[in-house]
């Protein structure tokens, strides 16, 4: 049985549709991320799960029990807010004890649970501090301790890393992930940061305009996006627009609008005449240095070269007029290419991911 | 029929479970009812009293009777003078409070705040003691032999002005100070750096920047002056008549409520016009 | 160099000018204090000697004491009622977005803009009909009308700086809505509410015009003072004034200690 299942959730504000028929299942201990741009409905979804917002249609089930009619307080979910929402007039210990006090837990047990919870987030000894006396990372730990202290059935995280600087953010992400594993917490995480989603999640639900566009593992969402939106939103991408001209030897032959011919691994459901987008991630092309591979060969002029330490990034104007992005691991000085130079590469048919364009699916 | 049905529907929406703001509506309701029954309706009824008899004669009288026009004009003049003096005395003080060193600033604040928190009656009483026939000034001048008979300073327009400026100036200082405090001093330095002489800097940079504070302070002082009662009643001693004193007389002495209502309507109209003008000017100000 | 000298000259001029204004502002108060301790039988300045007689005459006059008690009763009642009603409507105004909200806003602010004399006479008319003239709670109702806008101003400002997510967080963590407001919201806006309450108290305690019309024979302290000033200028008033200044001073100090400060400039 799933720990959380959403069935056909719909919500609109006036004329604006925030969610239309969303389904989602979370298994025990699973870390699921709802990823999407602002306005995609991800926050509304979290608020509906938490009970702060009421859906127009559909059900929210927690461990098989319908909680739709329950007030937020009765749902037994631990939530970490965007800016933590720590209570500034309470000490760290009082903050963490708050959910237990609201549950009329006994004094002795409160002390014990608070101690355990603060130890878990490595904040033992900070009990008597006030939130304003803590650093950003420490505040977040308090928020986390407060969310897990009452042994919730579900942990909800609402963009909790946004306020931290890069280094601290990466550290906290890993800490949260370890904690979630150790306590086997079923977790629903909302973010607009794709990198964060890839690092943390067991599965990612990519949302757009009130719908889940794709639900899958980070690997699937990155390598095999189900739609152009997903391909664009996650990672950097090169997208060719085109049409399937033929299928030969298990390869799709695609003619692009810019006049290139591409060969890609055939996929079920695609036949001749379909309009498609072909996706190539920037790290996929292989340099050919003059020698041609005979298939998916490209050449062009480097119009921008960026050195990024661990990698190098080139913007290439392909012969035929299309711009292409390539990213390769950082090379020695000798191999470095400069702006204005030529660049030749080929793409393996396996590295081309073909997406059917809306309207010609199936 | 349909209108009442529509009203019922909107009533049901406003208070019904479907309204996401139902809690807020219910929370505000007691206060709204309280103010409706103990403020809005009584005030409206009072000012509409003349109409209850099907006549607008009292309004006409209030707006055409020579005596009443004189009182209205007099009130307006006093309010304008009080506003002007509050500006002349209060603006430099507000500036002083912004730039003075901390100790002086503290002393300055005390000098503004202590009278502000003191009852108007106490302050007016003090002026009576100072300006009275046997008051401090007269006694001092008499004993110094400068004058031989006491000066009649009370019961005059200047006395009323003095008392009112004393009471109302803080209301001008506060908004102006809060605006001055927020002014970016770099702007002033920049203007100086560009070679503008100090008086130009003041006239074309500083004064315009403080204008929102000056406007709201001046409006506040003007509105309060228009309706002022205690100071003119005590320091004016019946010789300086302002609208509010006249209203009191018509209620308590002549028992003519209708005319008092008409005068109140005039007073409120002038007040609202001043308030509206200020709002309008402020809106224009925000454009840039 | 020249410029700097001219500027410091300006500063001296400014300081002198402001010194005069400050003197003008505080001078009346320095007159009241000596007179209240005057040994003379009538009003003279400077007082010929020191005496407590005017304070004794205040304490020994039942009318003054009665007026003081009435004023305190009215002011306390106003404090409770105005703080309650004002805080409720402040919540409604800051958090609600219902049709007519701007009208509620205007209604709540109106008692400051409408001249007191109009409110006073209008209420006098209503109270006369219901025979409320002369009842202390009638005056209290009138003062509450006048004090509500101040409460809303102060509490509303406090409420606007409060992060409403905290209330949601509390509810998500197991608090009912009431518990969330009680344990999380109210403690954080408490300084604003305390300031508002003190403000309501002073507003009522000092108010004359509404009391003048509606308190009838049951005069409040300001009304009693007003009548005394009109009929006889007797230094008892100076003694009462000093006591009133002290009381307001205490209230303002308390408010500054426990509230967000009574300095209207901040």
Q: Are residues C24 and C126 in the same domain?
A: no
Q: Is the pLDDT of residue A114 over 60?
A: yes
Interface membership of A81 toward C (CB under 8 Å): yes
Q: Is the pLDDT of residue A253 over 80?
A: yes
Weakest-pLDDT range from A257-261, B80-84, B101-105 = A257-261
pLDDT value, residue A156: 94
User: Do the Cβ atoms of C89 and B32 come within 8 Å?
Assistant: yes
Q: Which residues of B touch C245 (CB under 8 A)?
A: 118-119, 122
Weakest-pLDDT range from A121-125, A310-314, C107-111 = A310-314
pLDDT band at B1 (very low <50, low <70, confident <90, very high): very low
Contacts of B25 (CB under 8 A, 6+ apart): B14, B15, B19, C92, C96, C98
CA C160 to chain centre: 23
Q: In Å, how far are A178, A186, A188, A200 from A29, measured between CA atoms?
A: 12, 4, 10, 13
Interface membership of A50 toward C (CB under 8 Å): yes
The answer to whether residue C48 is domain-embedded is no
The answer to whether residue C266 is domain-embedded is no
Q: Are residues C124 and C233 in the same domain?
A: yes
Closest C-alpha among B110, B147, B154 to residue B132: B154
Average pLDDT, rounded, for chain A: 87
3-state secondary structure of A157: strand
* Residue span of the structural domain in which C30 resides: 2-36
Q: Are residues C140 and C211 in the same domain?
A: yes
Per-residue DSSP letters for A219-236? HHHHHS-SSHHHHHHSS-
- The CA distance from C148 to the nearest CA of chain A, in Å, is 27
Interface membership of A110 toward C (CB under 8 Å): no
- Angle B194-B197-B202 (CA atoms, 0-180°, nearest 5)? 100
pLDDT band at A358 (very low <50, low <70, confident <90, very high): low
pLDDT value, residue B10: 64
User: What is the enclosing helix (H) or strand (E) of B247?
Assistant: helix B243-252
- Partner residue opposite C123 with nearest CB, options B14, B25, B42: B42
Task: Classify burial at B202, counting beta carbons within 10 Å of its beta carbon; exposed 0-12, middle 13-18, buried 19 or more.
Answer: middle
Q: pLDDT of B190-237, one tens digit each?
A: 877 777 777 788 888 888 889 989 998 999 999 999 999 999 988 887
In terms of average pLDDT, the best of A234-243, A334-343, C59-68, C238-247 is C59-68
pLDDT value, residue B287: 43
User: Do the Cβ atoms of A98 and C175 come within 8 Å?
Assistant: yes
CA A137 to chain centre: 22
The answer to whether residue C56 is domain-embedded is no
pLDDT band at C18 (very low <50, low <70, confident <90, very high): very high
Q: Which residues of A touch C176 (CB under 8 A)?
A: 71, 73
Closest alpha carbon within chain B to C98: B21
Backbone dihedral angles phi then psi of residue A61, each to the nearest 5 degrees: -115, 130
Question: C 146-175 residues with CB below 8 A of A?
Answer: 163, 165-166, 168-175
Average pLDDT, rounded, for chain C: 87
The answer to whether residue C47 is domain-embedded is no
Task: Classify burial at C159, counting beta carbons within 10 Å of its beta carbon; exposed 0-12, middle 13-18, buried 19 or more.
Answer: buried
In angstroms, rounded to a whole number, what is the distance separating the alpha carbons of residues A237 and A283? 9
Closest alpha carbon within chain C to B247: C117
pLDDT value, residue C261: 47
- Partner residue opposite B30 with nearest CB, options C43, C85, C237: C85
CA C15 to chain centre: 31
Q: Is the pLDDT of residue A344 over 60?
A: yes
pTM of the model as a whole: 0.80
Q: Are residues C194 and C255 in the same domain?
A: yes
Q: Are residues C165 and C252 in the same domain?
A: yes
User: Do the Cβ atoms of C26 and B34 come within 8 Å?
Assistant: no
Q: Are residues C89 and C32 in the same domain?
A: no
Q: Are residues C28 and C132 in the same domain?
A: no
In angstroms, rounded to a whole number, what is the distance separating the alpha carbons of residues C31 and C245? 13
What length does chain A have? 362
Q: Are residues C190 and C128 in the same domain?
A: yes
Q: How do the domains of chain B map onto residue ranges?
A: 56-99+154-287
We find that the CATH architecture of domain B56-99+154-287 is Orthogonal Bundle (1.10)
Contacts of A312 (CB under 8 A, 6+ apart): A305, A306, A327, A328, A329, A330, A331, A336, A337
The answer to whether residue C265 is domain-embedded is no
Q: Are residues C103 and C155 in the same domain?
A: yes
Per-residue DSSP letters for C11-46? HHHHHHHHHHHHHHHHHHHHHHHHHHTB-SSS--SS
Q: Are residues C126 and C17 in the same domain?
A: no
Tell me if C83 sits within 8 A of C200, measured CB to CB. Answer: yes
Q: Which residues of A touch C183 (CB under 8 A)?
A: 98
Q: Are residues C126 and C27 in the same domain?
A: no
User: Do the Cβ atoms of C184 and A87 come within 8 Å?
Assistant: yes
Q: Are residues C218 and C97 in the same domain?
A: yes
Q: Is the pLDDT of residue C262 over 70?
A: no
Query: What strands, in cross-sheet order, belong to the sheet with A57-62?
Result: A16-26, A4-13, A57-62, A65-66
- The CA distance from C88 to the nearest CA of chain B, in Å, is 6
- Classify the C-alpha dihedral A26-A32-A37-A42 as positive or negative: positive
Number of folded domains that form chain C: 2
Q: Which residues of C touch B107 (CB under 8 A)?
A: 22
User: Do the Cβ atoms of C21 and B40 come within 8 Å?
Assistant: no
């Amino acid at each position: 049985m799933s720990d959380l299942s959403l069935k056909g959730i719909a919500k609109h504000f006036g004329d604006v549709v925030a969610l239309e028929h969303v389904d989602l299942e979370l298994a025990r201990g699973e870390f699921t991320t709802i990823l999407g741009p602002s306005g995609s409905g991800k926050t509304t979804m979290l608020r509906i799960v938490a009970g702060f917002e009421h859906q127009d249609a559909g059900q929210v089930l927690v461990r098989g029990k319908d909680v739709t009619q329950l007030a937020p307080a009765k749902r037994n979910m631990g939530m970490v807010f965007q800016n933590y929402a720590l209570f500034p007039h309470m000490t760290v210990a009082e903050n963490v004890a708050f959910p237990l006090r609201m549950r009329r837990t006994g004094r002795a047990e409160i002390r014990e649970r608070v101690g355990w919870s603060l130890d878990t987030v490595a904040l033992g000894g900070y009990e008597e501090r006030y939130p304003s006396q803590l650093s950003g990372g420490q505040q977040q730990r308090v928020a986390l301790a407060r969310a897990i202290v009452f042994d919730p059935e579900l942990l909800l995280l609402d963009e909790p890393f946004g306020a931290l600087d890069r280094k601290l953010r990466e550290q906290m992400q890993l800490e949260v992930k370890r904690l979630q594993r150790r306590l086997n917490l079923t977790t629903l995480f909302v973010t607009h940061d794709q990198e964060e989603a890839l690092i943390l999640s067991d599965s990612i639900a990519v949302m757009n305009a009130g719908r889940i566009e794709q639900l899958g593992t980070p690997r699937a969402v990155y390598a095999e996006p189900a739609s152009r939106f997903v391909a664009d939103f996650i990672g950097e991408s090169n997208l060719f627009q085109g049409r399937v001209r033929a299928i030969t030897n298990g390869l799709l032959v695609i003619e692009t609008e810019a006049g290139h011919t591409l060969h890609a691994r055939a996929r079920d459901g695609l036949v001749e005449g379909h309009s498609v987008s072909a996706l190539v991630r920037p790290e996929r092309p292989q340099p050919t240095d003059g020698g041609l591979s005979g298939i998916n060969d490209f050449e062009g002029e480097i119009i921008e070269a960026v050195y990024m330490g661990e990698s190098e990034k080139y913007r290439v104007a392909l012969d035929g007029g299309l711009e292409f992005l390539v990213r390769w691991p950082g090379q020695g000085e000798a191999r470095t290419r400069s702006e204005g130079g030529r660049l030749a590469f080929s793409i393996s048919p396996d590295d081309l991911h073909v997406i059917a364009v809306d309207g010609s699916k199936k | 029929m349909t209108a009442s049905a529509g009203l019922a529907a909107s009533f049901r929406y406003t208070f019904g479970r479907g309204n996401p703001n139902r809690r807020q509506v219910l929370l505000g309701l007691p206060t709204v009812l309280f103010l409706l029954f103990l403020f809005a309706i009584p005030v409206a009824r009072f000012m509409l009293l003349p109409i209850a008899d099907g006549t607008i004669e009292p309004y006409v009288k209030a707006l055409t009777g020579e005596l009443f026009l004189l009182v209205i004009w007099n009130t307006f003049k006093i309010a304008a003078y009080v506003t002007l003096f509050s500006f002349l005395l209060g603006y430099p003080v507000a500036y002083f409070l912004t730039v003075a060193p901390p100790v002086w600033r503290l002393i300055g604040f005390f000098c503004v705040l202590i009278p502000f928190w003191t009852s108007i009656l106490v302050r007016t009483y003090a002026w009576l003691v100072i300006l009275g026939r046997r008051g401090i000034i007269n006694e001092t001048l008499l004993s110094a032999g400068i004058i031989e008979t006491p000066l009649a300073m009370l019961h005059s327009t200047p006395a009323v002005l003095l008392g009112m400026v004393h009471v109302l100036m803080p209301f001008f200082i506060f908004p102006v100070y809060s605006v001055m405090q927020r002014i970016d001093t770099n702007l002033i330095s920049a203007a100086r750096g560009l070679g503008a002489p100090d008086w130009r800097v003041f006239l074309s940079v500083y004064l315009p920047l403080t204008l929102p504070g000056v406007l709201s302070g001046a409006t506040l002082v003007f509105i309060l002056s228009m309706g002022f009662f205690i100071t003119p009643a005590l320091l004016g001693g019946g010789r300086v008549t302002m609208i509010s004193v006249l209203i009191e007389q018509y209620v308590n002495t002549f028992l003519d409520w209708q005319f008092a209502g008409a005068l109140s309507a005039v007073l409120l109209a002038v007040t609202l016009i001043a308030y509206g003008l200020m709002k309008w000017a402020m809106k224009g100000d925000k454009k840039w | 160099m020249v410029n700097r000298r001219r500027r410091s000259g300006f500063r001296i001029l400014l300081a002198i000018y402001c010194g005069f204004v400050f003197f003008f502002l505080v001078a009346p108060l320095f007159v009241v204090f000596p007179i209240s301790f005057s040994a003379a039988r009538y009003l003279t300045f400077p007082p010929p000697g020191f005496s407590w007689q005017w304070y004794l005459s205040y304490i020994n006059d039942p009318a003054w004491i009665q007026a003081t008690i009435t004023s305190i009763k009215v002011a306390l009642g106003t404090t409770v009622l105005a703080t309650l009603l004002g805080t409720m409507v402040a919540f409604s105004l800051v958090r609600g977005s219902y049709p007519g909200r701007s009208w509620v806003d205007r209604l709540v602010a109106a008692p400051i803009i409408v001249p007191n004399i109009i409110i006073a006479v209008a209420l006098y008319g209503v109270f006369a009909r219901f025979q409320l003239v002369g009842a202390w709670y009638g005056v209290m109702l009138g003062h509450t009308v006048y004090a509500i806008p101040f409460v809303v101003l102060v509490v509303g400002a406090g409420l606007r700086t409060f992060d409403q997510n905290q209330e949601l967080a509390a509810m998500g963590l197991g608090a009912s809505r009431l518990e969330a407001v009680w344990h999380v919201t109210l403690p954080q806006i408490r300084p604003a509410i305390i300031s508002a309450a003190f403000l309501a108290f002073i507003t009522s305690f000092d108010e004359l015009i509404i009391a003048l019309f509606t308190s009838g024979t049951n005069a409040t302290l300001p009304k009693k003072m007003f009548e005394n000033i009109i009929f006889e200028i007797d230094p008892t008033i100076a003694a009462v004034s000093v006591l009133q200044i002290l009381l307001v001073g205490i209230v303002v100090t308390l408010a500054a200690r426990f509230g967000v400060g009574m300095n209207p400039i901040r």
